[in-house]
Chain A
């Protein structure tokens, strides 16, 4: 077994909640996951802070961001919180057999490289058990596209689950998985060691985004092309090597 003593002893977990009621059962589910994760981490000698992003109050701002391509300060703050988090708990209600449009709209505003290799717990609530696969059918591919590391256990909560002790067990399982991922530091190591291997956007929101000269790699093929070198990949390059 690997040594799980983490280099980092304090984690930040961002909770993204697309439930819009007050109280929201989606938020309730996310809170239970978050609390369980914090408990497990604390029991193993680390601390965790949970920061919640409720999307309901941001609904209009998110829609404006989609239309204009600009994040207003409220959405920008949420993005920075997300970028700075070590892990994410993503929770959405199921509407019309799919994830909430609000949740997807928010996800559409996330830079492609913002969440690279961050561990994520995927969770959804719905009015019927018949939508249980929405988490794996829709949230998991979405977070796969964002190159996150979703934990193995997906959580779905239909009305009957709220009275079930099994839900508590599944929450504990997902929380345990997230805690192990966090304490192992695997996500952070993947992002740190592979960062240049992913596509990035200059001036993006990701914590490792290129923001100044010092972050930019001037030795790429494109940069060489920018300074008059040939775009032809084969001949010239081989000649250089020889």
Chain B
């Protein structure tokens, strides 16, 4: 079971001081939070892509690559990478590069994005959001698995003889999670490919997303990747911890009640009716254990801890409390409750083992430049000679 934190780099004024972090401060703080998460033994740090103020996180791969250099163990991920407005070719290239520099400590979560104006900024149309996401992933999947891709689809120019570089580390693509809360098509795609499925279990009544997780699980089994119980499920969550329960509520209340989404709502109502937990470590532990009971054994739990304008010291304290007081207990308790035969979330190491066993992983070495900046019809020295690149004839 992996535990981690995720955020979207939102900037909002601290309601208790009026201070608004500059973009430079927020970026610096995100790096500090990631390092602390690594130090206290959390498993995952994930950043979500956004393209408009008050969010600062337009380029997760750039920041994740930097964080990779400053951390040792933590898996870096996204929450989410936009599979609609990004060109899947660029996603394949960027994240393969980060996967290399992070030495395999990278996976990613794909999502559609639901901010209407963002789509045209990238030449896309939200009304095509679902098929765009589905088609783009189909292509991404191939780009990371086939040296040479000929492809033709509806939403981008065709590819002829295209090789996405660098090839994934050890020729093993980063593990992919599909994030969704309402599209059965996304659950179906995750199940079809045997990828992970992540339901952002926040901002909605507790277990509201159980039907779609259930759908994914049963289709995962349908496609023969394992039993429904063995499907790879992740959940989002929101927590604020203090040693004493009342301190947590008192400290968190102004942040909660001044945040736009929650204005007019009572913190207590959200604590009672949604996955949000504000309280002592024990209270957070008990709530998360209900997720395991409700959703079945799952593989990844991410918490949002640095949103709502929380200042850096408070966010770092949250990471610390999660890493030292909450997660160690949850690891034990959830392991005890876990049914036998439930796999962990795939990691680079486990995927390499699954692909190669004890053999050496493939290390692609390109053929030499022919003089026209191409390496010929087979891009790599060990490329399958039967698969030849057929370059566009226009030149």
Residue ranges of A at the interface with B (Cβ–Cβ < 8 Å): 60, 63-64, 67-70, 72-73, 76, 201-203, 210-213, 216, 218, 221-223, 225-228, 230-233
Which residues on A sit within 8 Å (CB–CB) of B264?
A: 60, 63-64, 67
* Residue B338 at the chain A interface, CB threshold 8 Å: no
Which residues on A sit within 8 Å (CB–CB) of B141?
228
B211 an interface residue at 8 Å Cβ cutoff?
Answer: yes
Interface contact A70-B205, CB-CB below 8 Å? yes
Residues of A within 8 A of B155 (CB): 231
Task: Kindly provide the distance from the CB of B179 to the nearest chain A CB, expressed in whole angstroms.
Answer: 15
A72 touches B189 (CB 8 A): no
Q: Please tell me if the beta carbons of A67 and B265 are within 8 angstroms of each other in the complex.
A: yes
CB contact between B274 and one of A70, A212, A228, A230 (< 8 Å): that residue? A70
CB proximity of B178 to chain A, nearest CB, Å? 10
Q: How far is the CA of A228 from the CA of B141 in the complex (A)?
A: 9
How far apart are the CA atoms of A209 and B203 in the complex, in Å?
Answer: 21
Q: A25 to chain B: closest CB distance in Å?
A: 29
Given contacts A67-B263, A70-B274, A203-B182, contact A228 B154 (CB under 8 A): no
- Chain B hits for A216, CB < 8 A: 184, 215
Contact string against A for B residues 258-284, beta-carbon threshold 8 Å, 1 for contact and 0 otherwise: 000111110001000110000000000
Residues of chain B with a CB closer than 8 A to A232's CB? 152-154
Contact across chains for A233 and B182 when beta carbons are under 8 A apart: no
Q: List 30 A-B contacts (CB under 8 A).
A: A63-B264, A67-B265, A69-B204, A70-B274, A72-B269, A72-B273, A76-B205, A202-B182, A203-B182, A203-B208, A203-B212, A210-B184, A211-B211, A212-B211, A212-B214, A212-B215, A213-B215, A216-B184, A222-B131, A222-B134, A223-B184, A225-B135, A226-B134, A226-B186, A228-B141, A230-B153, A231-B135, A231-B155, A232-B152, A232-B153
CB-based contact B153/A227 at 8 Å = no
Q: Which of B154, B189, B212, B273 contacts A231, CB < 8 Å?
A: B154
Residue of B nearest to A200 (CB): B184
Q: Separation in Å of the B38 CB from the closest CB of chain A?
A: 33
* Given known contacts A70-B204, A213-B219, A228 and B138 CB-to-CB distance under 8 angstroms: yes
Q: With an 8 A cutoff between CB atoms, is B36 at the interface?
A: no
Query: What secondary structure prevails in chain A residues at the interface with B?
Result: loop
From A213, A222, A223, A231, B214 is in contact (CB under 8 Å) with A213
- Give the 9 A-B residue pairs with the shortest CB-CB distance, closest first: A226-B189, A231-B154, A231-B135, A225-B134, A226-B188, A227-B192, A226-B185, A222-B185, A202-B184
Partner of B130, one of A67, A222, A227: A222
Q: Which residues of B contact A (CB under 8 A)?
A: 130-131, 134-135, 138, 141, 152-155, 182-186, 188-189, 192, 203-205, 208-209, 211-212, 214-215, 218-219, 261-265, 269, 273-274
C-alpha gap A192/B154 in the complex (Å): 34
Let me know if A68 and B188 touch, CB within 8 A: no
The B contact surface, by secondary structure, is helix
Q: Name the residue of chain A whose CB is nearest to the CB of B132.
A: A231
Most buried by A among B141, B153, B215: B215
Residues of B close to A210: CB separation below 8 A: 184
Residues of A within 8 Å of B269, CB to CB, are 72
Q: B212 — which chain A residues lie within 8 A by C-beta?
A: 202-203
On chain B, the residues within 8 Å of A203 by CB distance are 182, 208-209, 211-212
- Specify which chain B residues have a CB less than 8 angstroms from the CB of A226 in the assembled complex: 134, 185-186, 188-189, 192
What is the minimal beta-carbon distance from B24 to any residue of chain A, in angstroms?
Answer: 31
**Nearest Cβ distance between residue A74 and chain B, in whole angstroms?**
11
Contact A225 B265 (CB under 8 A): no
CA of A24 to CA of B209, assembled, Å: 39
C-alpha spacing A222/B188, complex, angstroms = 10
What's the least CB distance linking A101 to chain B, in Å?
A: 15
Rounded to whole angstroms, the CA-CA distance of A231 and B205 in the bound complex is: 34
- Chain A residues, CB < 8 A from B263: 67
| Nearest-Cβ distance from residue A181 to partner chain B, whole angstroms | 32
Nearest neighbor of B153 in chain A, beta-carbon distance: A231
Contacts of A73 in B (CB 8 A): 273
CB distance from A19 to the nearest CB of B (A): 23
* Contact A231–B131 (Cβ < 8 Å): yes
Check if B211 sits within 8 Å of A218, measured CB to CB: no
- Known A-B contacts A70-B203, A212-B214, A213-B214; the reply to A64 vs B188 at CB < 8 A is no
Whole-angstrom CA separation of A69 from B131 in the bound complex: 25
Given contacts A213-B215, A213-B218, A213-B219, contact A227 B131 (CB under 8 A): no
Q: Find the B residue at minimum CB distance from A63.
A: B264
Minimum CB–CB distance from B215 to chain A (whole Å) comes to 5
Q: How far is the CA of A213 from the CA of B203 in the complex (A)?
A: 24
Nearest-Cβ distance from residue B219 to partner chain A, whole angstroms: 7
Residue among A218, A225, A228 with max Cβ neighbours from chain B (10 Å): A225
| Given A213-B218, A223-B184, A225-B131, 18 new contacts (CB under 8 A) | A63-B264, A64-B264, A70-B204, A70-B274, A202-B211, A210-B184, A212-B215, A222-B130, A222-B134, A225-B134, A225-B185, A226-B186, A226-B192, A230-B152, A230-B154, A231-B153, A231-B154, A232-B153
